[in-house]
Structure formats: C-alpha cells, structure tokens
Amino acid sequence: EVLRIEVRLSYKAKMIEIINNLGEFKKLGLPVAIGISRKSFLGKELLPTERLGFCLELTALAIKNGATIIRTHDVAETKIITF
C-alpha cells in the first residue's frame, strides 16, 4: 500500500501547505508518493518545460518533508536533486 498524493490543485498556496505537512501523512506508516511535475499551478503563463525549476524546488521540499516516491516527467533533473 502507498499513500498517493496527486497534485491537481490550481492554488499554489494550498499545494505548498500540503507539501509542508507531508510529515502528518507519513505518520500513517505508509510510503508517501507525490506527483508535482509540470503542474499548471506553478505558472499557467509558463510552458510545462519552463516550470522545471519550480517543480524541482517543490520536489526537494516534498522529499525533505517525507515523500518517499516521486512521480516526475523530468527524471534526470529530479535524480540530481535527490542525491
């Protein structure tokens, strides 16, 4: 079993709040999976490929706060920030 958090929100503040509180989900004793990659809440005026910096920043924060499985479109770039 895995607790999967799929980002489908259009409110950046709400998503950041969820990421900041991933530790609460971790208390359930399940691996926490999250998908942040290229989401429009990072900047609708940007192309998906232009959102990479924001995605990596939020992914690093998610890992710091307890995410154990990351879904991403940008595997090579995400790998760099996780090691």
CB 3 within 8 Å of CB 31: yes
Residue 63 has pLDDT above 80, yes or no: yes
- What is the arithmetic mean of pLDDT over 45-59? 80
**Nearby residues of 2 by Cβ (< 8 Å), 6 or more positions away:** 30, 31, 32, 33, 69
pLDDT of res. 60: 93
* pLDDT tens for each residue of 10-46: 566 777 888 899 999 888 998 998 887 666 666 677 7
**Is 8 marked active-site?**
no
pLDDT above 90 covers what percent of the chain?
Answer: 20
pLDDT of res. 8: 59
Point out the catalytic residue in the list 12, 14, 39, 51.
Answer: 39
Point out the catalytic residue in the list 8, 12, 27, 71.
Answer: 71
**Is 39 marked active-site?**
yes
pLDDT of res. 46: 74
